[in-house]
Structure formats: C-alpha cells, structure tokens
Copies of this chain bind each other. A is one copy, B any other.
Amino acid sequence: MELGFIGLGKMGMNMVTRLRRDNHRVVAFDRSADLVKQAEGQGCVAASSLADMIGKLAAPRTVWVMVPSGAPTEETVQAVAALLQPGDTIVDGGNTRFHDDVRRAADLKKKQLHYIDAGTSGGIWGLKVGYCLMIGGEDAPVKRLTPIFTTLAPENGWAHVGGHGAGHYVKMVHNGIEYSMMQGYAEGFELMSKSEYNLDLGRVADLWMHGSVVRSWLLELAVDALKDDPKLDKLKGFVQDSGEGRWMIADAIEKDVPVPTLTTALFTRFRSRQDQSFAEKMLAALRNAFGGHAVRR
C-alpha cells in the first residue's frame, strides 16, 4: 500500500528500507534534503515539504511520523494534521508519553482524523530482524494498515494491544523492563570482572546463550560487546536514558505499584553521569563528624 513517512534518521531510514522491500509506495520527507535523496535512492518518492508529501498521497492518506520524541513529534503531528483531510491517519512511531497520545487522538478525532500510536522496538537491528510493533488505536485504521505493520515487523511481531496510547504504554513498560534486565546483567558481569577466577567474560556470555536460563537477545549483544573489548577498557561508564523509565516510575507511583529494580536501574544511570556525588560527600562529612573518620579532600 502507500504511506507518507516523516523522519529519515537511524530508525526511520531502516524502516523505509523494509517498506520498500515489500514494494509499498513511500513518499518520504525529512528536514535534511540529503536524507530525502538517500530515500529516493531506495525507490521512495521524494517530498520537498509536508504539503508536497501530502499532495502526493491519495485519500485515505497515512502519514508515519518517526522523529525525536517531545516537541519535534508534537509539532510534526500538529503540522501534518493541519494538512490532512477527514478519514486520513497519522501514525506516531516514536517514544511518546501515552498521555499525549490520548490527548492528540481526541483532538484529531474532532477533525475526523485517525491517530495510531506505534511503540517500536528493535533498534538498529530492526532492519534485518524486523521491528516489534505495539499498536494502540481504533480498530478500523489499524486493520487498514495491516500490510504496513506486517512488512515492518517480523512474523507475529506486531499486535493491536489496546486503545489510544496503549501502544506507547506497552512500549514504555517494555523499556522499563529493558533497564532492569540490563542492570541485572551489568551487576553480574561486574562481579565476574572482579572474580579470583580471571574469567573470560565474552566466553561466559556466549556460553550462557546456549541452553541457560538467562539467554536473551540483550545477552547476545553482550557477547559481541565483550568479545570486542573484554574488560570494557575502551568505554566510559556514562549512561544516558531516554525518558521511558522515568515515565514508567511516575505511572507506577500513580498506581501504587512497587518498581524497585527499575528505579535502581535509573538511579544507577543518574549516578554514572555525576562526577562527584553530593550525597556521598555528605556521608563522608557525617562519618567524619561523629567518628573522626578520615576524609579525602
């Protein structure tokens, strides 16, 4: 089928590539003319502006928005909505907070536009493996877009999980679990790195991929990382986070659900980005104050 695609970054370009493989007609737009040109090289129809893109699509139109979350997505959705006509559909494939989906869907409904939130997992491997798609929205437009989802996802790799926001909600929880899993591996491998056994960590990770209880895709990635750099000497332990973990904690607190490993994982990342921790200075100051314990200055 046919769709407009906005955002030709790392994720977006790979998705477009998959879509073209199945011969969907893709009208591609990005702020970068170079990226549009690159997409054209893959058989996409180039668009020079949002209006140009929409003009090249037949009703009922579908526009997939794949730009950074927050303001860029919000602005893009608004700008596209202003150009579409009743019956058209916007898909937000980024990492939007689910409350925003609910709000947008209600706003767009007034204009008789459809809105679908598509939580998208798979990272840079999605091109090859396919993207796991968690879809939220109304039945009719989801059904209509089935061929698109089927192309983007691996077999059985997409599902319509609920109403507006449900796709991004499930993706948010997915990412929170991802934090916990990563943290679990990280703790275990740190301990092994300090072991008296002088373990070959890449070898252990590889071994565990074959029949152990902890085998997983993240572990498969760890195998490669540890084989490249067995003591991770080339890296700094500076760990960013992209927001979903924070949102999940906020949601858990709203619903009175304990999420202790997730918070631990997020706080570990915060700590990794501090050069000196005020809290730890305070601990040193207090130990010194009551026990006369030496401090480092």
Tell yes or no: A94 within 8 A of B by CB: no
Tell yes or no: A176 within 8 A of B by CB: yes
Asked if B280 contacts A153 (CB within 8 A), the reply is no
Q: Point out which of A176, A249, A289 has the most chain B C-beta atoms below 10 A from its C-beta.
A: A289
Residues of B within 8 A of A204 (CB): 134, 159, 161, 170
Q: How many copies does the complex hold?
A: 4
Mark each residue of chain A from 72 to 116: 1 if its CB lies under 8 Å from any CB of chain B, else 0.
000000000000000000000000000000000000000000000
- Complex-state Cα separation, A28 to B173, whole angstroms: 48
Q: How many of chain A's residues have a CB under 8 angstroms from any CB in B? A: 132
Asked if B191 contacts A255 (CB within 8 A), the reply is yes
A258 nearest CB neighbor, chain B only: B267
Contacts A189-B278, A211-B130; A123 near B291 (Cβ below 8 A): yes
Asked if A286 contacts B185 (CB within 8 A), the reply is yes
Asked if B237 contacts A276 (CB within 8 A), the reply is yes
Residues of B within 8 A of A154 (CB): 210-211
Residues of B within 8 A of A239 (CB): 280, 283-284, 287
Asked if B194 contacts A257 (CB within 8 A), the reply is yes
Asked if A197 contacts B169 (CB within 8 A), the reply is yes
Tell yes or no: A71 within 8 A of B by CB: no
Asked if A285 contacts B121 (CB within 8 A), the reply is no
Tell yes or no: A252 within 8 A of B by CB: yes
- Complex-state Cα separation, A206 to B123, whole angstroms: 19
Asked if B173 contacts A191 (CB within 8 A), the reply is yes
Q: Smallest CB–CB gap between A85 and chain B, Å?
A: 29
- Complex-state Cα separation, A158 to B105, whole angstroms: 49
A288 nearest CB neighbor, chain B only: B225
Residues in A258-282 with C-beta less than 8 Å from chain B? 258-273, 276-282
Q: Smallest CB–CB gap between A252 and chain B, Å?
A: 5
Across the interface, A185 reaches (CB within 8 A) one of B122, B124, B177, B263, namely B177
Tell yes or no: A139 within 8 A of B by CB: no
Tell yes or no: A1 within 8 A of B by CB: no
Tell yes or no: A181 within 8 A of B by CB: yes
- Complex-state Cα separation, A224 to B289, whole angstroms: 8
Known: A122-B212, A189-B278, A238-B296. 7 other contacts (CB 8 A): A169-B197, A170-B197, A213-B218, A216-B218, A237-B282, A237-B283, A268-B280
Q: Would you list 17 pairs from A and B whose C-beta atoms are within 8 A, ordered by A residue?
A: A121-B208, A130-B211, A136-B197, A166-B197, A169-B199, A173-B191, A185-B286, A187-B279, A188-B262, A190-B277, A191-B248, A215-B217, A235-B285, A237-B277, A246-B253, A258-B279, A260-B263
Chain A residues close to B by CB (< 8 Å): 10, 121-126, 129-132, 134, 136, 153-159, 161-163, 165-166, 169-170, 173-195, 197-200, 203-204, 206-219, 221-222, 224-226, 229, 232, 234-240, 246, 248-253, 255-273, 276-297
